[in-house]
Structure 1
């Protein structure tokens, strides 16, 4: 998908990236858990937007498809952002950057983490 975006939203590469993302997710967590993950009632808006974005990429509207897909991705996987930020802060170089005074407040607000004080 990154190559598809870097090559000015090449529809073929974006489609292959979407297929590989769904296949990889299915292989990592299993078929039943993948279906359950996308079929949760409280995340239905994200699921509809995500798969609509994939469909738009398949019918050769890659820019609009990626935007809709990104909105759905944020709705579906938004709960994982604090975990990802916590992991990134433990990495050597990226952790120092994310812990900088100005950046730390912005990242905390975006990820939804509470400040200790």
Structure 2
């Protein structure tokens, strides 16, 4: 397993702040400025994390062209101050881009039930008494 470099730690921070600004922008009734900052920070963090070349290869594959078009089109709509339509288009593109990742993420979340302290919490919260 490779060690995480300082540059990758900064990229994780950028992605985290980007997600925070996106969530905060949605909570504040689709504030276009916060959504734009969140989009830019998330994309900068994602690009910094895996590298420019790998990001371009991931986004511009032939089978992912439609997903990339919707995702980047949604980002550009948010930057043009159409936040609700832009977030809808961007969300559709995000789901199309990362749909192969969702089963792995779901498997990880479902395997969290095997963690001892979470297992006790989940089993106690599902009782109907």
Provide the aligned C-alpha RMSD in A. 2.0
CA drift at 1:91: 2.4
Tell me which of 79, 82, 103 is aligned to 2:103. 82
State the distance in 2 between where 1:88 and 1:41 align: 30
State the distance in 2 between where 1:88 and 1:12 align: 32
Counterpart for residue 40 of structure 1: 61
Listed as ranges, the gaps of 5+ residues in structure 1 are 101-117
- Provide TM-score, normalisation by structure 2: 0.71
Tell me which of 27, 32, 40 is aligned to 1:6. 27
Number of residue-to-residue matches in the alignment: 98
State the distance in 1 between where 2:72 and 2:42 align: 12
Moved over 3 A (4+): none
Q: Larger radius of gyration, structure 1 or 2?
A: 2
Q: 2:72 is paired with a residue of what secondary structure?
A: helix
- Provide TM-score, normalisation by structure 1: 0.78
Listed as ranges, the gaps of 5+ residues in structure 2 are 1-21
